Amino acid sequence: MPFEFSMLSQARLNAFARDKTIFFFPVGPLEDCGPHLPMGLPLELASQYAFSCAAELEKRRPDWTFVVMPPAPLGIDAHTSLALTVRGHVLRDWLVDACRSLGKQGFFYFVCFSGNLGPRQLTAIEEASRWVRTRAWWFPSFLLRKQRLTLISASSAWVDAKTVFRSPFWLDAQEHGGQEDTSLALALVLDLVDEAFKNLPSMALEGSFLRRFFDRKRVRPGYWGDPASASAEEGRRLLEQRLEPILSRLTILIENGSARNFRSWYSLLPWNQTFFQAWVMLFGIFVFLMGSYFLMHA
């Protein structure tokens, strides 16, 4: 079984081989997921993804150690108006600082699973991946061993270009608390699912994309999709489908000591960056000051 970080003693942690240990970070928002699912479902799913991935890797490579970190309720994007969210740099900086702290102990490899696939959520995790890798100069052993910290945004593998093209500005999922989410919950956290889901009607988002964009908080119900058609079998199929590309990439990491990070198309769009609004404000101030200068000296 994978280890839980919060249950480890310092002596047990120190016994792990530094170059053969991977830490898994589950993150996600707390939000309304309908009358049949708990507020913490995204976070719980992220945790279950991490445990499932770690358990499968443990079977394939028993000589490695896999540690699951405590779930962190850090979500930037949310589907509904009833949600506890944080600003983008909070999630990014928490991941960077946590990886750095473990890096000081000599560990190198980290994986982040997100229970939410929003544009800013994944972009913040991918930014943390770059920061972790490029800001490891303070640790002397990296200079000696020529090895840097590696943080992989696992959930970025689940977002394709079609999804980004459909909703590049904000999270516009085709379902929330519907068949897919309920199926995953039945497969992974059955005890958290209210059996009332079997009688819930199918619900679709109302209005056009532009209307939902400008009035997105009001038009979102607690769930949309068809939860009544969910099944545990479908959830297990979805889980296997989602984890396979990640397992393949992590197997390469284990065998070669390095692996290419997953990257979503969201991170290529400036408005999804954590400090995009700040840069826009600074640019506006610069234009205003330059305009004032030229007007005064015209």
Tens digit of each residue's pLDDT (9 = 90 or more) over 237-270:
999 999 999 999 999 989 887 777 888 878 777 7
Q: Is the distance from CB of 98 to CB of 69 less than 8 angstroms? A: yes
Rg (alpha carbons) of the chain, rounded to whole number:
21
What pTM does this model have?
A: 0.86
Other C-beta atoms within 10 Å of 1: how many?
A: 9
Predicted local distance difference test score (pLDDT) of residue 104:
93
**DSSP conformation letters of 166-184:** H-SSS---S-BSSHHHHHH
Specify if 68 maps to a domain: yes
Q: What's 76's domain CATH number?
A: 3.40.50
Specify if 91 maps to a domain: yes
Closest CA to 103 of 229, 18, 176: 18
Specify if 139 maps to a domain: yes
Q: What residue has token string 């984890």?
A: 243
> How many domains, the chain?
1
Q: Looking at residue 22, what DSSP letter applies?
A: E
Whether the pLDDT of residue 141 is over 60: the answer is no
The predicted-structure confidence for 85-139, as pLDDT tens digits, reads as follows 999 999 999 999 999 999 999 999 999 999 999 899 999 999 999 999 864 444 4
Specify if 203 maps to a domain: no
Domain residue limits at 249: 3-172+238-296
The rounded distance, in Å, linking the Cα atoms of 121 and 227 is 25
Specify if 200 maps to a domain: no
Q: Which one-letter amino acid corresponds to residue 60?
A: R
Specify if 286 maps to a domain: yes
Predicted local distance difference test score (pLDDT) of residue 116:
92
Specify if 186 maps to a domain: no
The rounded distance, in Å, linking the Cα atoms of 80 and 143 is 46
Specify if 15 maps to a domain: yes
Q: Looking at residue 269, what DSSP letter applies?
A: S
Predicted local distance difference test score (pLDDT) of residue 287:
67
CA distances from 139 to 18, 142, 168, 191 (A): 14, 6, 37, 44
Predicted local distance difference test score (pLDDT) of residue 90:
95
